[in-house]
Structure 1
Amino acid sequence: MDFDFTPEQKALAKQVRQFAAEQVAPYRRESDVRGSYRPGLLAEMAAEGLFALRLPEVYGGRDLDAVSAGIVLEELAAADLSVCFPVLNAALVGGVLAANGSPEQLEEWLPPIARGESVLALGLTEPEHGTDAAAIAARAEPDGDGWVLTGEKTSIMTTAYATHALLFARTGEPGPYGITAFYAGLDGVEREGLQDLGCRSGGRGRMVLDGLRVGPEHVVGGVGRGFGQVMRGFGVSRAMIALMAVAVGKAALDEALAHAGTREAFGQVIGRFQAVSFPLVEHVTLLHAARLVAFEALWRADVGLDPRETANMAKWWAPKAAVDAAHQALLTLGHLGWSEDGPVAQRLRDVIGLQLADGTAAATKLVVARRLLGRESAP
C-alpha cells in the first residue's frame, strides 16, 4: 500500500500551491468583503489549466485522475475556499458531459470549458427540493423539436459568474426516471445573488427559468437519464469536497499551532499547557484520518472500484471535523481568532457551508447505510 503521491502529482501540488499563495491568498479577505472574486482571477485560473483538470486531452483538457484533481482543490482551499467552486464545477459538470455527450456535443462544449471561456454551474437544487433532488419540480415542456424550461433553481454556487449550466428538469413521470439533463447557456436567465454567512465571493444565487428554450442538441445523455448521471458524479465530487474541508480545517489549525508556539502566558508559551496543545492534537488527528478516507475514495474511482461508500463517509465526516477544528483554532487564538481582521473567523464561516454542499450529513449517511444494510433494512 503506497501512501505517497507520484512525482507528477507532487509537482502539480507545488504549482498550484505557488499560484494560490501569489494570486489567491493575498486577496481572500478583500474578496470576502467585496463578495466577488478580484477582476481577472478566473482568467488566471484558466491559464493555469484549473478548469481543464478532468477533461480529455483531445478537447484541450489535462485528463488528470481523480486523485490529482483532489490535490488541486486541496491546495486552492487552503488559500481561499471560495475559489474552489468554479474548479469543482468544471470537474463535476465537465465529467458528466464527457461521459454522456455525443462526439458533436463534446467538440462544441468541452474546449471552451477547458479554456475557461465557459464557466459552469450545476442547476439541481430548488427552493423546495434539496436533499430530495429526485422530486425536483422544474419542468421541460416539449416545444417543436426542443423544450421550454420553467422553474427556479437556488443555492447554486457560481451563479454570479456562470455562462453555462447543467440544468435538470422534469420531462416525465415523478421520481428520478422522469428527470432530464440539459446543458445550456445562461444568456437572459434571471439571476439573483444570495447573502451568505461564508464563501461570500463564491457567487451563490438563484436562477429563474422563465421559458428558457433549448433544442434537442442540449439534451445530455438522453431523455429521462439526468438524475443518474449527476448521482454518479457525486461519487467523486463528494470526496473532493471532503478534501476542501480538510484543507480549510488544517489551515486554521496551522494558525492556532503557530500562535500556541509564540503566545506567552504565566511565564511560558501557551503550547506547554495540555489544555491548549492536546485539543489541537486531537483535531489534527481527526483531519488527517478524514483526508485519508477522501483520497481512498478518489483512488477507488481511478482504479475502477466503486467510490460511493467511501466518498459518502468522507463527505459527512470531513466537513464536521473541519468545522470543529476551525472552532478550536478560533478559541486557541482567543480575541485574535474572534476578530475578522484575522483569517480564522472567515475560515470557520466558510467551511460551515460544506456541511450542506452536495449532500448533508444525513443524506450521505443514508447512502452508506443502504450500502451496508441493503435498502430493505436501511432508512
Structure 2
Amino acid sequence: MIPNEEQSALLDAARRFSRERLLPTYMQREKDGITDRALLREMGALGLLGVDVAPDYGGLGVDGVTTGLIVEELAYGDFNISAIVLVMSLCGAIIARNAQPEVAAKWLPRIPTGDAILALSITEPKCGSDAGSLVLKARRDGDFYVLNGEKTSTTYCDCADAFLVFARTGTVEQGARGVTAFLVPSDTPGLQTTRFSDLGSHMSGRGSVFFDDVRIPASHRLGDEGKGFSQVMAGFDYSRALIALQCLGAAQASLDEAWAYTKEREAFGGPIARFQGVSFPLVEGETLVAAARQLSYHALALRDAGQAHTVEAAMVKYLAPKTAFDVIHQCALTFGHYGWSMDLPHQQRMRDVMGLEIGDGTAGIMKMIVARARAGREATEERGAA
C-alpha cells in the first residue's frame, strides 16, 4: 500500500523513533525485563500510543490501516514495545464500544498519554482458544459483581493498571452466551498476580491473575451481561491483523541487517552477497514478508470499510508469525558463527515472534476459521457416532 499524506507524517515520526530510540536498546530492555513507563509517556507525547482512540479521549482517531502502519514500524525497533501499542488498541476499542460513559472517561484518556497499561484476561488454566468454556465466576451481589477464579497467560500481568476480564455470569451449559466482560482495576482488593519465566518477550510480564472475592461495581461491566464473548471475538479480527504486522516489522529489521552484512562480509575475494546461496534465501524472505504485509493491510482495509474480514485476519495471523520466525532464522544463519551469538538481536526476535504463533489463536485455530468459512461449519465439524 502507498501511505497518504497524513499517514506518511505519522509513519515518519514512528520510523525515526523506532530506529533512533527503540532499536539501539531493544535487547537491553528485554534483559531488564520491565516495562519502561517513562518510555511509554515519551511515545504518548509523540502521538504514538492510542492512535485509534477517539479525539474526544485524547487520541488521534485514525483508522485500522494507519494503526497497522505504526505498529509495524515500531516493531522494527522493538517487538515488545509495539505489542503495547497493539494491546492498547484492542482494549481501547472494547472499552470505547462497551463501557459506561464515566468508566470510558476515566480510562480511555490515559491510553494515549502512556499513563495506563491495560491487560486482556481471557485464557484460563483449562481453557485457551475455546473462550466459550470459561469458568471464572462473576456473581451479582446488588450493585456489585464478585469475581472468583484464575486467569492465566495474561500479558502485562505484573504491571497492568487494569484488566479486561471475561467471566462467567451464566451457566457453563450456556457456553459463550454466559460470558460477560468487566474492567477490573489492578489495585482492587482480592486480586493477586504471578509472573512466568518465558522463552521470549520478558518485558511483557506474562503471568496468572487470581481473583478471591474481588468486588467490582456493576458500572464496570463492559456491555450487556452475557455479551462478552461476541465483544472479544470482534476485537480479535482487528488485533490479529495488527499482530501479523508486528511480526513482519521484526522480520524486516533482521532482513535489513542481513543484507547490510552480506555487503560487508567478504569471502573468496569479494562480498558474500554475490553468492546465490546467500542472497536467494533473503530474496525469498523479502517476498514472503511483502506478500503477508499486503494481506495484513487488506484485512485492515476491509475492517475500515465496515466489511467482513474474519477470514483475511485468520489467514494472516497463521501466516505472518511463522513466516517471520523462518525469515529471522535465515537471517541469523546468514551471519554464520556470529548469528549463533546472543549479542545479535536475531535470536531474541525469533523467541519474541514465536510467542505469537500461540497467542491470540494458534495456526490450527486460524485454519479452522478459514475452513469453516469456505466449506461451512456443518461440513468441518465432527459428527457423532451413528
Q: What TM-score bracket applies, with the shorter chain setting the length?
A: over 0.9
Match of 1:289 among 288, 291, 296: 291
- Residue equivalent to 2:357: 355
Offset at residue 59 of structure 1 (A): 1.8
Aligned residue for 1:353, secondary structure, equals helix
1:59 equivalenced with 2:57 (yes/no): yes
Cα displacement string for residues 39-68 of structure 1 (whole angstroms, at most 9, x for unaligned residues): 611221222233321211112221110001
1:184 aligns with 2:190: no
Give the corresponding residue for 1:131: 129
Structure 1 residue 210: Cα displacement: 1.5
Q: Which amino acid aligns with 2:47?
A: G
Match for residue 141 of structure 1?
A: 139
Mapped to 2, the partners of 1:253 and 1:292 lie a distance apart of: 17
Pairing 1:94–2:96 present: no
- d(CA) in 2 for partners of 1:303 and 1:206? 37
Determine which of 169, 191, 198 is the counterpart of 1:171.
169
The answer on 1:112 being equivalent to 2:110 is: yes
- The Cα of 1:267 is off from its aligned counterpart by 1.7
In structure 2, distance between residues paired with 1:11 and 1:132: 41
Q: Does the Cα contact within 8 Å between 1:85 and 1:157 map onto a contact in 2? A: no
My pick for the range that moved more, 6-15 or 108-117, is 108-117
For the residues of structure 2 that align with 1:257 and 1:182, how far apart are their CA atoms?
47
Letter aligned with residue 309 of structure 2: P
Alpha-carbon contact 2:35-2:159 (below 8 Å) kept: no
3-state SS of the aligned residue for 1:198?
coil
CA distance in 2, matches of 1:12, 1:35: 28
For the aligned residues, what is the CA RMSD? 1.4
Amino acid at match of 2:223: G
- In structure 1, the residue matched to 2:240 is 238
Q: 2:263 aligned with 1:261, yes or no?
A: yes
Partners in 2 of 1:115 and 1:246 — Cα distance? 26
Match of 1:22 in 2: 20
How many angstroms does 1:145 deviate by?
A: 2.3
Using the size of structure 1 for normalisation, the TM-score is 0.96
Contact 1:245 1:318 in 2 (8 A): yes
Pair 1:346-2:348 in alignment: yes
Aligned equivalents of 1:44, 1:203: Cα separation in 2: 21
Provide the C-alpha distance between the structure 1 equivalents of 2:193 and 2:45, rounded to a whole number of angstroms.
Answer: 27
How far apart are the structure 2 equivalents of 1:343 and 1:157? Answer: 22
SS in 2 for 1:209: strand
Larger mean CA deviation between 234-243 and 342-351 belongs to 342-351
Tell me what 2:307 maps to.
305
Please say which of residues 94-103 and 225-234 is displaced more in the overlay: 94-103
Instruction: Flag the 1:141–1:157 CA change in 2: closer, same or farther, 3 A.
Output: same
Q: Find the aligned partners of 1:129 and 1:287 in 2 and give their Cα distance.
A: 32
Give the equivalent residue in structure 2 for 1:373: 375
Q: Deviations over 1:241-269 (max 9, x none)?
A: 00011111111111111111221112222
Q: Distance in 1 between matches of 2:318 and 2:259?
A: 26
Distance in 2, Cα, partners of 1:51 & 1:137: 33
For 2:192 and 2:294, locate their aligned partners in 1 and report how far apart those are by CA, in whole Å.
41
- Aligned to 1:201, the other structure's residue is in SS state helix
| Aligned counterpart for 1:8 among listed residues 6, 9, 12 | 6
Distance 2:235 2:200 in 1: 25
Tell me the residue number matched to 2:219: 217
- AA aligned to 2:265 is R
* Residues 235 and 312 in structure 1, CA contact (< 8 A), matched pair in contact too: yes
From 193, 215, 219, the counterpart of 2:195: 193
1:27/1:38 contact within 8 Å kept? no
Contact 2:37 2:114 survives alignment (8 Å): no
Letter in 2 for 1:248: A
Please, what TM-score do these two structures have when normalized by structure 2? 0.94
**In structure 1, what is the Cα distance between the partners aligned to 2:112 and 2:264?**
45
My pick for the range that moved more, 354-363 or 44-53, is 44-53
Structure 1 window deviating more from structure 2 (107-116 vs 221-230): it is 107-116
**Structure 2: which amino acid aligns with 1:370?**
R
Give the aligned partner of residue 384 of structure 2: none
Deviation, structure 1 residue 139? 0.7
Contact 1:67–1:302 (Cα < 8 Å) also in 2: yes
Quick check: 1:85 aligned with 2:83?
Answer: yes
Deviates more, 1:55-64 or 1:71-80: 55-64
Tell me if structure 2 keeps the 8 A contact 1:121–1:166: yes
Deviates more, 1:295-304 or 1:124-133: 124-133
Say how many residue pairs are matched: 377
Percent identical pairs in the alignment equals 44
- Deviations along 1:138-165, whole A, 9 cap, x unmatched? 1111222211111111111112221011
Aligned AA (1:178): G
| Aligned residue type for 2:182 | F
Preserved contact between residue 19 and residue 77 of structure 2 (Cα < 8 Å): yes
